[in-house]
Amino acid sequence: MNRKTERVFLVGVELKSGGSRGLDDSLQELSELATTAGGQVVGDGVQKLAAPCASTFIGKGKATHFAELCREADVDTVIFDDELTPAQSRNLEKLFNCKILDRTSLILDIFAQRARTREGKLQIELAQLQHLLPRLTRFWGHLSRQKGGIGMRGGEGETQLETDRRRVQDRIARIEKELEVVRRQRSTQRYARQRNHWALASIVGYTNAGKSTLLNTLTGAEVFAEDKLFATLDPTTRRLRLPTNQNVLLTDTVGFIRKLPHGLVEAFKATLEEVVEADLLLHVVDVSHPQAEEQIHAVESVLREIGADGKPTLMVFNKIDQLKGAQAILSQFAEKYPQAVAISAVTGEGIPELLSELGSQLRPLREFVELSVPHDRPDVIARLHSVGQVVERDYSGERARFKARIPPHVHSEFAPYVVKELQTA
Ligand SMILES: Nc1nc2c(ncn2[C@@H]2O[C@H](COP(=O)(O)OP(=O)(O)OP(=O)(O)O)[C@@H](O)[C@H]2O)c(=O)[nH]1
Ligand SMILES: [Mg+2]
């Protein structure tokens, strides 16, 4: 763990089909990922290709050249921006004579470093082992899990390999069993929540968009927020009370990224159930990011993958304090997404608008009723004001009359006083 920081070299490929701009952004992001994982990027190289090479992904000549650069720069790990096949990894490892990672395994490593809950840790380990299994080579060596570095390191030689494979398979089987137990417990907790019948809103968005910061600002939660990718892995849920007295459960969860490994999405499906079950999604976007638009699409594609597309979604354009002179961007987005709100989770700008938009989007979930309450039941009247949103009141008659929106979970409490179901606007 206290070994010197790993020196990292990045390799990107510009396929004829994609533009070079996409490659630059992708490499820039890969570099952030490598840094987040604790590496130090000491160089990078790109190659233009019609199609990836089956044996070494990039061309053999280019690979040999990069390998030389890496030796000179004393590089420990070479990271490819795309997913490598097991054969490509093995061949490249021989050629470079150092550890080869791809974007997928890098993201998995970061997740492994960040997981805190039992379920999170198990999910990551499972995804990691499944990714690793066909790629086991002598550079991965024994499987003691090490923290801090990029990935696992070993180097005990080929003889270890068969034993390692068997151990990985055993471990996968054990984790799957354990996950089942952990999940059963969690779904019991969820049922408890469902009985509350509060609306559930889930914050989604690209990694580093400001999701946790927003949850903290809205609810005073103390979720870890940091200018690093994937600061959050495990979901946190807090109650948010809107100015209209509506209670909402607000969940902050793991961020998305482009080329998010499929195995990881699979592994996280259970965690992401909060997203799938939500009544409303808050899609937080860092509008100050030059790739904001691409990030929106990446998030939408993960949402599709987990089956949460088509959900009512409130677009939240965050970090407007960072826009400075670039306000034009905001109006472009506003045109494209007319329902959106623009905020700064840090300065609090736009938060009142966000709250009121939340209120109106969640309103249809509540029942709009007319009530008639005897004057000698001030307790009922007080309770109505504390849990409901009273929009009209009339104390002049024999009984007090109200028009109010009340959340479903207290509907039965007021049932004796309801005289009319009103149309929800
Ligand atoms: N200037 C500015 N910075 C913000 C704003 N919102 C969040 N940030 C910063 O952006 C960084 C990322 O914020 P987080 O809240 O951790 O982002 P996240 O979406 O939860 O990220 P992950 O959990 O890593 O996916 C932090 O350094 C925040 O301080 C904002 O409105 N303005
Ligand atoms: Mg976060």
Specify whether the CB–CB gap between 284 and 268 falls below 8 A. Answer: no
Q: What residues contact 85, with CB distance under 8 A and at least 6 apart? A: none
Q: Which of 67-76, 129-138, 295-304 has the lowest mean pLDDT?
A: 129-138
- Single pTM value for the model: 0.78
Q: Go through 191-215 and write b for each residue having 16 or more CB atoms within 10 A of its CB, e for each that does not.
A: eeeeeeebbbbbbbbbbbbbbbbbb
Q: Go through 134-145 and write b for each residue having 16 or more CB atoms within 10 A of its CB, e for each that does not.
A: ebbbbbbbebee
- Residue 406 CA to residue 220 CA, distance in Å, equals 25
Atom of ligand 1 nearest to the CA of 229: 24
Going from the Cα of 207 to the center of ligand 1, the distance in angstroms, rounded, reads 9
* pLDDT tens profile 201-251: 999 999 999 999 999 999 988 888 888 888 877 778 888 988 888 788 899
The pick from 113, 202, 212 for probing ligand 1's pocket by mutation, whose C-beta has the most ligand atoms within 8 angstroms, reads 212
Going from the Cα of 21 to the center of ligand 2, the distance in angstroms, rounded, reads 27
* pLDDT tens profile 17-66: 666 667 888 899 999 999 988 899 999 999 998 888 999 999 999 999 99
- Residue 356 CA to residue 343 CA, distance in Å, equals 13
> Which ligand is located closest to the Cα atom of residue 351?
1
Per the model's pLDDT, the better-predicted residue between 204 and 362 turns out to be 204
* pLDDT tens profile 165-176: 888 899 999 999
- Residue 211 CA to residue 275 CA, distance in Å, equals 13
Tokens 């690793």 belong to 132
For 218, the enclosing helix (H) or strand (E) is helix 211-219
The pick from 35, 208, 299 for probing ligand 1's pocket by mutation, whose C-beta has the most ligand atoms within 8 angstroms, reads 208
Whether the predicted pLDDT of 141 surpasses 60: no
Going from the Cα of 30 to the center of ligand 2, the distance in angstroms, rounded, reads 19
143: confidence class by pLDDT, cuts 50, 70, 90: very low
Encoded tokens for 94: 């021989």
- Residue 359 CA to residue 208 CA, distance in Å, equals 26
